[in-house]
Each structure stands twice: as structure tokens, then as C-alpha cells.
Structure 1
Amino acid sequence: MYKLLLACFLAAASLNNATACLNGETKSLKDGTFLYSDDFGKVPHGHTFNSAEEFEKAVVNMDSLYRLKKDISYLSDKGLLLILLKRYDEAINLYLEVEKIRPRRYSTASNLGTAYELAGNNEQALFWIKKAVGINPHSHQRSEWIHVNILETKIKGAAANVSSEALIGTDFGKAAEPSTTLNRNALAKLHEALYYQLNERVSFIKTPDPIVAQLLFD
């Protein structure tokens, strides 16, 4: 991330200025439950989540709302809450049921991929993330190709080449000043995708993590 930021600065100072300012963003669920907030700067710091106590209350509320309205979105939101509460097996089972009720929902596939990865099943995580990309390649700021590369690297285990080339399809050299063949537009898109993925990963992944470390270095 640091090398990419410097490369962006060298390509266009205006791009660096755009990423320097802080911009807050919040996410709430369908019933109004506050999920998290973000403060955006040059380096991603992850989400600031609501309390586990509030999430537990929201799980109960989602069940009630689904029984009342039969809106599948409430079940989907319940699954997301279960993931945040680290109840991964429950989340997986719920999303598999949602998939039977309403097949090919992007959020189902994406959240199943996340739940499987956090539960340690990278093969199933890769299957569902690829399925999510097939349903909607534009979601998550077109960044899920990085997620796919991360999972493929994790599946290889000790034999994996944890490198910029393997994770983001390019590198910036070994010199103090980064070099790249990417143009300004490509650098901007890569920066946006990498920032998004890192902001998600640092919210959930425990340190030390060599993949996150490599991506932060990039």
C-alpha cells in the first residue's frame, strides 16, 4: 500500500491529495441497526463496529421481522450479524438455507465466502467468492479479484509465493523509489481496489498475517 501510494504520487500529485483527506462512512442494516463506521485516510484501519451486545439484540429482531414480513433481507442481515459475532457455523448454515430459498443472491455468495474463510475453510471460501464475482463483478469496487488471489495463495499454504505479483498482479520494484508500467488510471483503480480489500481484512484478520503485511507494504 505504501509503495502504491508513492507510485500514485509520482504519477499524479492530485491523486495523492484526494486520498489524504478523511471521509467518514457508516453502514446500517435493514432494521436500522448501526453496524460500523469508517474513517478513510491514506492507510486503511478497518471498521469501527457496534457492540456485540447490540448485535445480539439485532439477531433476535431480525428473526422477528422475518417471521412478520417474510423478507429474505432480514435473514441475510442476521447472517452478517452472526459472522460479526464469530458464530461462523451458524452463519454458514443460515446462508446455505437462504441460497435454497433465493438462489444466486450476491450477498449470500459473498458472505458465505467470508464466513467460510473466517472459519478456516479456504477451499469453500474460494468457491463462494468466485460465485459472487460471477453474479456481480462490479461489487466491492471491483476488488474481489484480489480476494480470489488471496484465497488461492492461502490454499497453497507453505508453498505459496506471497508476493505482489501473486496478490495484485504487479509489483513496484525493489528500489527505494517505486517503478511501474501502469498508467495513472490503472494505478487509481488498483489503489481503490487494494484499499477496499485491506480495510475489510484488517477488520477481521488477526496479526501477524504475511498476506496483509505484503499488501500493506505494496
Structure 2
Amino acid sequence: MKTNTLLISFLLFMNISSASACINTYVFDLGSEGLSKQQALDKIKERSKKFKTHEELNDYGVLLIYAHQYDKAIQTFKSIENSHPNLAKTAANLGTAYELKGDSVKAKYWIQQGMKRDPNIHQGSEWIHVKILDAQLNQQKDKTWIQKNDVLGLDFGKDVAPKAKVKTIKFENHSYNLEKILVHSEIQMDQRLRFVNQDPIAAQIVFNMGNIEAYLMQNDLQTITSLFDVADMSGYADPDFLRKRVNYLNTSKWYAFKHKIIYSFKRLFGMI
């Protein structure tokens, strides 16, 4: 899908630390904003077809992903897997290429392989990627799944004021609190929103990023409501409810008072 540059610019404003959440290079620098399809095509033309190392071949495969040549990218990463097996970056890149091609089953397999090979790949955020792929598979079976379920298992209620009914998510042998979920969501969404436009799964995760921020009150109000704007633009499944929550955050004097006190306290004591 066409990249939404407005969403990318916003997430960069959020000071997300990983510019390549699901795509891995060795030497080639993608820059803070990644590459457009045309930029990738131009760089592919510049590069020699002969690659001396698997690292160079990997980076060529990444260019193919940005050029939307997913079949060629998959062939490239499979070649690396055959010649240099068990590399975490290869598995993660294969998973991403398969996902962008539309094969969620193979994508999930390879993303899980990447996690097994390196549990800390993408700063340990790949569990969210697996959850996203599970959601995609559920959506294929039931187009209304996203309207009835939360991708990560979070629940901030149906009142206009977000209330965290779930404060910890368990995945395999790990537990993630709201702060960690927010950080990992930022890492994953930074890359994902470069490749998708209208995606209710990604939109729901961004919506919950806004909910977490609103609940924890560790960011300024403009940034919090901007997250909800991004979720809305990305195709959140219940836009009417989203706007009601945003309206509450923007107009509630009680919330504004609490936010000012808590946010100022956290900044004063270096908690954010």
C-alpha cells in the first residue's frame, strides 16, 4: 500500500528509537525516514549484481522490499538462509517480505524463527509482530474480528475516560507492563506505518498507544491526542468512539487538572 508520509512524520516526532523495526540491514543506512519505492528502485540500479558477502546481499534484499519486489526479496533472503543459515536478520526480513506479500502464515513462521535466533531482535518487540500476524489470520476467517477483539489483549473500557482494565500482557514466558507495551508498540508502528495506509490492526495498536499515554499521563496532551488522530487516519474500527474519547481529553477540566499535576510531577522527578 501507499506510504502515508504524515503518519511517518508524526511517529518520528515521537522520538522513536528504532528506524527499522522489522527490516534489518548490515551496512546500508535507510535513514530516519526509510526509502520511497522510487528511491529503492534507483538504488537497486546503482548496485552491482555481484555481491561479495551475505551482508551485501541482505541489504540488497532490503532494497527489494522497499521497491515492493517481494518475490525477489524472498528469493534473496532464502539464498542467504541456504548459504548462511540461522541468522536472525535473515529470518526477520523473510517474515516481513512474506507479510507484505500477503502470506501471514509463512510470515509468522519466519518472525518466530527470528525471535528464537535472537530474543532481543528489534529490542524485544517482535512479540507484537506475532500478535499482529495472528490478528491478520483471524481477520481472514472473520472480517469483523478486529471490531470484537483487541490485538494485544488490552482493554481501556468504553467510557470516554480511558481506564486500564488490563495492565500486564503475558506472551510465552514474558510479561509486559503498559510502559513496555508502549515502547514496543512504538518500535513496531514506526516501520509498519511506512508500508500501510488504511489498516485497522495497526490503527488499533496506535489507538492503544494513545490510551496508554492518556492513562499514564507521561506525555503532553497534544502528543496524546495526536496518537488518536493517527489511529483515526489509519482506519480505526470505531471512529465515533475514538472521537468521543479525544473530545473528553480535550474538554474535560478534571482530566486537564490531573494531567497537569501528574505530568509535571513525573517531569520534575525525572520519571519521563
TM-score range, shorter chain: 0.7 to 0.9
Return the offset for 1:35: 1.6
Structure 2 Cα separation of the partners of residues 163 and 140 of structure 1: 28
Structure 2 Cα separation of the partners of residues 26 and 130 of structure 1: 21
Return the offset for 1:163: 6.2
Structure 2 residue corresponding to 1:194, chosen from 185, 208, 211: 185
Native 8 Å contact 2:122 2:187 kept in 1: yes
Native 8 Å contact 2:92 2:114 kept in 1: yes
Structure 2 Cα separation of the partners of residues 25 and 127 of structure 1: 23
Match of 1:75 in 2: 57
TM-score normalized with structure 2 length? 0.59
**Relative to structure 1, is the Cα distance of residues 96 and 153 closer, same or farther in structure 2, using a 3 angstrom cutoff?**
same
In structure 1, the residue corresponding to 2:134 is in which secondary structure?
helix
Match of 1:98 in 2: 80
Native 8 Å contact 2:40 2:64 kept in 1: no
**Relative to structure 1, is the Cα distance of residues 50 and 202 closer, same or farther in structure 2, using a 3 angstrom cutoff?**
closer
Native 8 Å contact 2:95 2:106 kept in 1: yes
Match of 2:118 in 1: 136
Residue type at the aligned position of 1:61? R
Match of 1:215 in 2: 205
Q: CA RMSD in A?
A: 3.0
Structure 1 residue corresponding to 2:155, chosen from 171, 177, 190: 171
TM-score normalized with structure 1 length? 0.72
Return the offset for 1:24: 8.0
Match of 2:66 in 1: 84
Q: State the structure with bigger RCO (CA 8 A, min sep 6), 1 or 2.
A: 1
How big is each residue's C-alpha offset from its partner over 1:13-57, in whole Å with a ceiling of 9 and x where there is no partner?
xxxxxx9864787779655x54231xxxxxxxxx34267346533
Structure 1 Cα separation of the partners of residues 203 and 14 of structure 2: 24
Match of 1:11 in 2: none
Output aligned runs, 1:20-169, within 5 Å.
22=15, 33-37=28-32, 47-49=33-35, 52-53=38-39, 55-58=41-44, 60-61=46-47, 63-64=49-50, 66=51, 70-156=52-138, 157-159=140-142, 161-162=145-146, 166-169=150-153
Return the offset for 1:63: 3.5
**Relative to structure 1, is the Cα distance of residues 26 and 152 closer, same or farther in structure 2, using a 3 angstrom cutoff?**
closer
Structure 2 Cα separation of the partners of residues 23 and 195 of structure 1: 6
**Relative to structure 1, is the Cα distance of residues 144 and 22 closer, same or farther in structure 2, using a 3 angstrom cutoff?**
closer
In structure 1, the residue corresponding to 2:30 is in which secondary structure?
strand
Which one has a bigger Cα radius of gyration? 2
Residue type at the aligned position of 1:199? D
Residue type at the aligned position of 1:189? K
Structure 2 Cα separation of the partners of residues 93 and 189 of structure 1: 35
Structure 2 unaligned spans of 5+:
1-11, 169-175, 209-272
After alignment, is 153-162 or 101-110 more displaced? 153-162
How big is each residue's C-alpha offset from its partner over 1:101-155, in whole Å with a ceiling of 9 and x where there is no partner?
0111011100000101111111111111111111112111211111111111111
Residue type at the aligned position of 2:31? Y
Structure 1 Cα separation of the partners of residues 93 and 62 of structure 2: 7
Aligned residues: 184
Structure 1 Cα separation of the partners of residues 48 and 121 of structure 2: 24
Structure 1 Cα separation of the partners of residues 202 and 55 of structure 2: 31
Structure 1 Cα separation of the partners of residues 17 and 181 of structure 2: 21
Identity of aligned residues (%): 32
**Relative to structure 1, is the Cα distance of residues 141 and 124 closer, same or farther in structure 2, using a 3 angstrom cutoff?**
same
Structure 1 unaligned spans of 5+:
1-18, 38-46
